[in-house]
A and B are shown apart, each in its own frame.
Chain A
């Protein structure tokens, strides 16, 4: 059970937001701070919360995170948990873990990363006997993407532990029965066993590096940090890393998938070549996506992220150095800036989360929803963007966006049947 240690508004907001993105139940508890607790500390609130949660909702683990409120007042979660243990509030065999997640530092991805590291801190352990298993930290991606990562690992015949894994949690079946703790999710024993794996692949440096580094330090599991496998070369890098770490051969089936993606890129090249793209989102999503845009012949024109990152920006400029040396890369900025930039420097395509639709509408731009959150479409949770299969979907989405606009706007005598 995720538990938000702060006033309840945060918890209501993040549950609503994730629900709107996934169209799925998002359950979490909160300490429900009042003014008194905000001044004198949230010990009593958390203790009461834990008693209620374990009695009413019976989770195996309560995973506590904080808000700006409890961070500013300086609540010491481990001490509160210890006191709760002493008071007999935490039942036998159950656990409370925690991550400090001050909202005035970084972004939601920082929180994700700290939470992944907390799983390692509290759970991963090493028995000294290495098993032929590869850990995969998937980063901030969709349940469909996690499913795709597992499919690729299974195609390669690699034993793996994927953590976290929201497939079958955030895309569960509707069959008349509500399960507060759905079938999916990385199990506690898997999280513990990560310490005995041969190696870790951490996908997306911002989301996954911290946990992978902790695991190396704690249990001496070697790790490599990779980009999220979006597009051809980033997926190649992932498949190759998995091949080497697992000491396996890439099956013909996966090579064919790769070839089908290259084939589609070649088929559609005339529509993609030198098209200018404005794109915004989280750094981990943007880096491989921009690589892919360059691979298919497009020109990233303006790249904006809300996250700080000078080094990251430099890296993006290098990726674009040949395709568009003039690329505008702006970390710690916003969609308003992006919109103003586009007004002065027209582009052919906009990519980003749902909030981009207002810019797309006002500038009449083809728009591909990409990243988080997507609040007004459903495909993101059902179909992957990762892997070669995800690449096929991205090319489909980009060309659909171009063609829909063209079909809508071309004068009757110029409408093409075949494209």
Chain B
């Protein structure tokens, strides 16, 4: 099996990944010990070395190399009744750094993707304000704007894992998260433009899509760091991310980041909408439920190696890489265990360390080829650190659905394959 065949496979399986890993391993070995006559990729002139490639305008909006065609969002069909109210997953195991490319940021819709011409889009602010207002997109782009890097994590990320290991790959267990640079107007400025009344305590963003998503947000948060954003990673929002306008609610559960934002109501009480009563409330073992669990707590996952990214190169130097984030602020430390949490080493955080943003960590080890039980444990600037799944279950039971930030374990086997497991 050539690498190219694997790369273009539309539905990479664990088995084909394993084959790919082994094939690559063999190839790498061949390079490691030069064969007689030399490597033909070096000794023979290659096509790309002889013939001209495509010209500058062949790709007006560039796409990744065809050899990266497997780096895509994936869904799990059995999770939901309909693709229009469903979820897909960011391929975390294929990414590095802290920024998620726009085209593979996970999607979560409740009524499909609304396709809106920005010229037809309006934002209304009404309720407990001095002057209810209507803005066009052009109006919004005349306000002073900010650029901020934030992670956006679905409240249900890892939710399928409450009862134990279920999905085999960090794309599926942890991929309802992305992290981009948002450009937008502070919500505070828009509220000040309308003039909020003294009894105003809550705001409620509402989407223009067929689900008309609504959530109650306390005024303190609205005036603190919320944005009304129109760009991500420098370009307009993607339709599936709320084009032309979305809420940015830093550190808080993704559901509140209302897409296709068309209205913000100001009120004195929360509205108790469907997405903050029936959904996004966290049922505990005693039958009672938490409401308004907004913050996404400190969390991390090792993205490589992981079930979709087995070790293909054999023993020796191994880069353990992963991501960590906390809705409370900066990540100050990530510890990594090779033995299922008995002993820990502090990993190296590389790249920007920004509040409520993804952080990249690395631990470089010399793998002796023995089984590993890999774990990572994030700590944030407020001293909160990531609990084990069992600690969470002791406090909450197994029916909370949302807010599973428990420590993930990967079992690395001698052949380099990796499996999602639970440990004692």
A in complex with B: no
Chain B residues engaging chain A, CB cutoff 8 angstroms:
none
